Structure 1
Amino acid sequence: MSNVNLIIEERPARIGSFLVGRLLPFREKRMVGPFAFIDHMGPAELGPDENFDVPPHPHIGLSTLTYLFEGSIMHRDSLGSSVEIKPGQVNWMTSGKGIVHSERTPEHLRPFPKKLHGLQIWVALPKHLEDMAPSFAHVEAADLPSWTQDEVEFRLIAGEAFGRKSAVPVYSDLYLIEIKASKDTQLDLSGKLKGESGLYILEGKVSASGHGFGPKQLLVSTEPETCGFFMSAGTTVYLFGGEPFPEERFIYWNFVASEKETIEKAKQNWRDQTFDKIDGETEFVPLPER
């Protein structure tokens, strides 16, 4: 994209028994707009004796967004939600003052070989909504705005862009867009985006600012009003961002807050196990004491 200010490479990180590629937060760029955390999961092939298992763990101050390319994840939370996430769907869980969820391979897939590939994203809540009641939404793939322009496929996963609005109930000015090019394409999005922008390259090649970039790279620009980039045929990217918050956000483990005291309180509540529980789940991820 034009005016690339930062290039972020995926770094390995472990989530439960699963190795992922971490994009955000990054030491030189903690957030892009309201986006505070992005993990690229997979692509992974799991055998019959290998499963994705993240036991119950808490969140505060954010919304989680799970978007799969392959495979399935069973989501359960302390609100009573129990949903199998499949490719193309959006799983949107808003923690607010506190929620607990687990993520696992569905029971019907556990005895068989399976694949898992997707994105897991955290979007920080505005300061005045950090203490809101938790909520959950699941949006089908068919309910996401999708369109084709000059052989480029667009899907608006969350937020608003290009005069369209996703059904995902976001709480701030943001956008997350999937873009797939079937032929060499120059995209000019000048004047169509607001705030900060990040461009994650899932596959293929992107050229911007006179340089070429490839898979597993995240490009960050603070001037999306001049956003433009070249996509080679067969390229898939995820364009995301929005208006940054005026206040700094602190992140500790799964907690995001504008006040350190809020995080300290959440840490103690998890130590004391006073968060709401998930029906049928007894284990939990201990608080990392670091």
Structure 2
Amino acid sequence: MSSNDKLVIEERSRSIGNFMVGRLLPFRKKRQVGPFTFVDHMGPIDLGNDRWIDVDQHPHIGLCTFTYLFEGEIEHKDSTGAVQIIRSGDVGLMTSGKGVTHTERTPAASRNKKNQRLHGYQIWIALPIDKEEIEPRFDFIRSEKLPTWKHNDLSIKLLAGKAFGRESSLPISSDLFVLHIEADDDNSFEINGELKGEIGFLVNKGKIIEDGEEITEGQLMISKTEDTCSVALNKGTRLLVFGGKALEEPRYLYWNFVSSSRERLERAKEDWKARRFPKVKGDDTYIPLPS
């Protein structure tokens, strides 16, 4: 892959409530990778002593939220009635469609533990135009139900989509892939046409080397072509590799809303201010629309 065919993005700090996260997408020079529109790196965060994850009720339209943790746990609740504790290695996928609200919290049963750590990612996936207004739903796959395999000294888990002749059972709405890769020794990740579309290499730990350039922890390398052959991984490196076919139409973002229509974003804003979105059962919290 030549330098003209790749882009390297640095993680930037952003505040969400009481915590800082590292934001990788969107970026001014690259708004999306395939249908992936938003990537936040959570942690590592040490919890305890009345310091917990408590994200109150907030809305989404036009996207899926993909939650994946390396450490810790989050309780997800949403207006479809879903209640699920997502733990390390599990995948939670909430499809917002025409409109959903949800909360994310440290589970009540875990709040009596002194020391906990949370570390993972929340990723937004834009829905295709013909599915932007579908009914919302929540899907969950436990870690042990996801395809895993060894390739040389690489440990690979397929979190979503299709790759390398395998398929995750997570229901998705477009052609995409998400892989968790760990290098047990110095090695290379051979692609050779097995991944289709744009490809993002998100370095969570360690480093990769591509065309003589080191991509290190907290950086995202994006390949704009799908003929990338391989990248070299140092021992102990941990990656998320994600991407897919680029969306044909532009997507617009405002706060927690994604849409192919600016007018639809305006309607979502008014609906949230007027409290017309469905509610999480038994939860009266409300995050106001940002000014």
Q: Which TM-score applies when normalising by structure 2?
A: 0.97
Kindly indicate whether residue 49 of structure 2 is the aligned counterpart of residue 48 of structure 1. yes
Measured after TM superposition, the shift of residue 188 of structure 1 is 2.2
Give secondary structure in 2 for the equivalent of 1:224.
Answer: coil
User: Which residue of 2 is the match for residue 264 of structure 1?
Assistant: 266
The equivalences for 1:84-233 within 5 A come to: 84-112=85-113, 113-233=115-235
Measured after TM superposition, the shift of residue 2 of structure 1 is 6.0
Please list every run of 5 or more consecutive structure 1 residues that lacks an aligned counterpart in the other structure: none
User: Which residue of 1 is the match for residue 250 of structure 2?
Assistant: 248
Give secondary structure in 2 for the equivalent of 1:128.
Answer: helix
Instruction: Please list the CA deviations of residues 104-127 of structure 1 after superposition, one character each: whole Å capped at 9, or x if unmatched.
Output: 111111233211100100000000
Contact residue 2 and residue 226 of structure 1 kept, 8 A: no
Q: Supply the AA of the counterpart residue of 2:236.
A: G
Contact residue 192 and residue 225 of structure 1 kept, 8 A: no
Instruction: Please list the CA deviations of residues 189-232 of structure 1 after superposition, one character each: whole Å capped at 9, or x if unmatched.
Output: 12111111110001011100111121000001111222411001
Contact residue 145 and residue 164 of structure 1 kept, 8 A: yes
Give secondary structure in 1 for the equivalent of 2:227.
Answer: helix
User: Which residue of 1 is the match for residue 25 of structure 2?
Assistant: 24
Question: 2: CA distance between counterparts of 1:146 and 1:220?
Answer: 24
Give secondary structure in 2 for the equivalent of 1:74.
Answer: strand
Q: Supply the AA of the counterpart residue of 1:95.
A: S
User: Which residue of 1 is the match for residue 74 of structure 2?
Assistant: 73
Instruction: Please list the CA deviations of residues 141-177 of structure 1 after superposition, one character each: whole Å capped at 9, or x if unmatched.
Output: 1111100011211100011111111011010000001
Instruction: Please list the CA deviations of residues 71-104 of structure 1 after superposition, one character each: whole Å capped at 9, or x if unmatched.
Output: 1111000011111111111001000000000001
Question: 2: CA distance between counterparts of 1:81 and 1:201?
Answer: 31
Contact residue 2 and residue 229 of structure 1 kept, 8 A: no
Measured after TM superposition, the shift of residue 237 of structure 1 is 0.8
CA change 1:49–1:233 in 2 (3 A) is: same
Kindly indicate whether residue 261 of structure 2 is the aligned counterpart of residue 286 of structure 1. no
Question: 1: CA distance between counterparts of 2:2 and 2:49?
Answer: 45
Question: 2: CA distance between counterparts of 1:123 and 1:44?
Answer: 24
Q: Supply the AA of the counterpart residue of 2:155.
A: E
Question: 2: CA distance between counterparts of 1:179 and 1:92?
Answer: 20
Contact residue 206 and residue 229 of structure 1 kept, 8 A: yes
Please list every run of 5 or more consecutive structure 2 residues that lacks an aligned counterpart in the other structure: none
Q: Supply the AA of the counterpart residue of 1:163.
A: G
Give secondary structure in 1 for the equivalent of 2:192.
Answer: coil
Q: Supply the AA of the counterpart residue of 1:89.
A: D
Measured after TM superposition, the shift of residue 274 of structure 1 is 0.5
Question: 2: CA distance between counterparts of 1:206 and 1:226?
Answer: 14
Question: 1: CA distance between counterparts of 2:72 and 2:122?
Answer: 14
Measured after TM superposition, the shift of residue 47 of structure 1 is 2.3
How many residues get paired? 289
Contact residue 34 and residue 243 of structure 1 kept, 8 A: yes
Question: 2: CA distance between counterparts of 1:158 and 1:12?
Answer: 27
User: Which residue of 1 is the match for residue 39 of structure 2?
Assistant: 38
Question: 1: CA distance between counterparts of 2:25 and 2:107?
Answer: 27
Structure 1 runs, 4 residues or longer, greater than 3 Å off: 1-4
Question: 2: CA distance between counterparts of 1:194 and 1:43?
Answer: 31
Contact residue 33 and residue 241 of structure 1 kept, 8 A: yes
Question: 2: CA distance between counterparts of 1:2 and 1:109?
Answer: 48
Q: Supply the AA of the counterpart residue of 2:198.
A: E
Question: 2: CA distance between counterparts of 1:204 and 1:151?
Answer: 15
Question: 2: CA distance between counterparts of 1:145 and 1:61?
Answer: 28
